[in-house]
């Protein structure tokens, strides 16, 4: 069950599978998703893959016992809804929580993959959604991002989820990361770390820029390594640039290093090692 979801008598009695149309969509999907996730199955009677996926989703919804609800939308009878959600191929499945789409897939996935997909926004029983998201970062970063969005859908001011989402997206090289980090408010415990990470946006972008000169090429190579997750190699290149040309890109190599220290955190074994190397280089 999702952390923070209250099991009121209403949510306890709600059916596992509901038929949804344009008239009741707002109440049955958007409003209901404020309490529990709603998985929308866009289908049609003539669709063969839909007849394969539909029973799987219905069975899993029944097994969930109220942790999430399946909303069935017949696209032939609800063309306006299909157009609003830009449905181009069916079956199309979208997870809605807090009134927002948090994950989706297209096609008739096998049951094992559907179960894996559901876990992207359904933490284990008794678990914290934030803890579950953090545990997923290394193996399933997109799933972790979906869980952070779930938390923010329920708690828009949750600065922990805001920082973790921004950090994750930044390290994935996604532009949304820097905008999310900028939303961490002044005075929040993670504000300083969020601000320190902002220069990483320009650093990651350098991987796609032409390089003129040896230092520029090393900077580009460092950015490429970082985008591939090879943080030790990236930081080694940045240390070399600081030693050779501190002024390059307005002290960009040092700022990128500080951004990595903030992103990885002092608990990461790389951080104290490269902090010492940077200090030795500067002083």
* Domain assignment of residue 138, given as a range: 129-195
pTM of the model: 0.58
Is 223 assigned a catalytic role? no
Domain finish residue from 60, 87, 119: 119
Q: Does 20 share its domain with 114? A: yes
Q: Which pLDDT belongs to residue 236?
A: 95
Q: Which of 90, 119, 148 is the last residue of a domain?
A: 119
Assess whether 21 and 54 both reside in one domain.
yes
CB under 8 A, 24+ apart: contacts of 59-62: 60/111, 60/114, 60/115, 60/118, 61/16, 61/17, 62/16, 62/17
Residue 113 in domain = yes
Is residue 1 included in any domain, yes or no? Answer: no
Domain assignment of residue 3, yes or no: no
Catalytic residue among 47, 152, 169, 242: 47
Distance from first CA to last CA of the chain, Å, rounded? 53
Is 239 an annotated catalytic residue? no
Q: What is the average pLDDT value for the chain, to the nearest integer?
A: 86
Residues 136, 206: one domain?
Answer: no
Domain assignment of residue 175, yes or no: yes
DSSP 8-state assignment for residue 98: T
Q: Mean pLDDT, to the nearest integer, of 149-160?
A: 85
- Residues 144 and 234 grouped into a single domain: no
Radius of gyration of the CA atoms of the chain, in A = 23
pLDDT bucket at 198, cuts 50 / 70 / 90: very high
User: Which tens digits make up the pLDDT trace of 243-256?
Assistant: 999 999 899 999 99
Question: Is residue 52 a part of any domain in this protein?
Answer: yes
- 2 in a structural domain: no
What pLDDT does 14 receive? 67
Same domain, 181 and 236: no
Residue 24 CA to residue 27 CA, distance in Å, equals 5
Question: How many residues are there in the chain?
Answer: 283
- In whole angstroms, give the CA distance from residue 160 to residue 151: 10
Q: The CATH number of the domain where 14 resides is what?
A: 3.40.30.10
Residue at a domain's end among 177, 195, 213:
195
Asked if 19 and 112 sit in the same domain, the reply is yes
Active-site entry in 2, 29, 36, 50: 50
pLDDT 10s digits, 172-187: 888 889 999 999 999 8
pLDDT at 1 over 90: no
Whether 182 and 223 map to the same domain: the answer is no
Does residue 10 register a pLDDT over 50?
Answer: no
* Residue 155 placed within a domain: yes
Q: Please count the structural domains in the chain.
A: 3
Domain assignment present for 207: yes
């Amino acid at each position: 069950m999702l952390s923070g979801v209250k099991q009121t008598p209403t949510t306890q009695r709600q059916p596992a599978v509901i038929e949804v149309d344009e008239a009741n969509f707002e109440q049955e999907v958007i409003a209901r998703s404020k309490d529990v996730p709603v998985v929308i199955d866009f289908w049609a009677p003539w669709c063969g893959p839909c007849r394969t996926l539909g029973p799987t989703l219905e069975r899993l919804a029944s097994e969930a016992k109220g942790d999430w609800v399946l909303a069935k939308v017949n696209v032939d009878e609800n063309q306006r809804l299909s157009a609003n959600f830009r449905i181009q191929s069916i079956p199309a499945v979208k997870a809605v929580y807090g009134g927002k789409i948090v994950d989706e897939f297209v096609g008739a996935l096998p049951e094992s993959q559907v179960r894996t997909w559901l876990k992207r926004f359904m933490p284990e029983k008794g678990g914290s959604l934030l803890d579950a998201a953090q545990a997923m970062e290394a193996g399933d970063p997109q799933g972790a991002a979906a869980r952070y969005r779930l938390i923010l859908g329920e708690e828009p001011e949750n600065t922990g989820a805001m920082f973790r989402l921004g950090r994750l997206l930044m390290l994935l090289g996604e532009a949304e990361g820097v905008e999310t980090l900028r939303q961490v408010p002044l005075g929040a415990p993670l504000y300083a770390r969020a601000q320190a990470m902002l220069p990483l946006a320009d650093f990651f972008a350098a991987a796609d820029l032409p390089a003129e000169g040896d230092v520029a090429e090393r900077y580009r190579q460092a950015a490429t390594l970082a985008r591939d997750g090879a943080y030790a190699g990236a930081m080694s290149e940045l240390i070399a640039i600081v030693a050779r040309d501190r002024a390059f890109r307005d002290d960009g190599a040092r700022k990128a290093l500080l951004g990595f220290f903030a992103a990885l955190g002092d608990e990461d074994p790389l951080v104290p090692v490269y902090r010492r190397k940077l200090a030795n280089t500067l002083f």
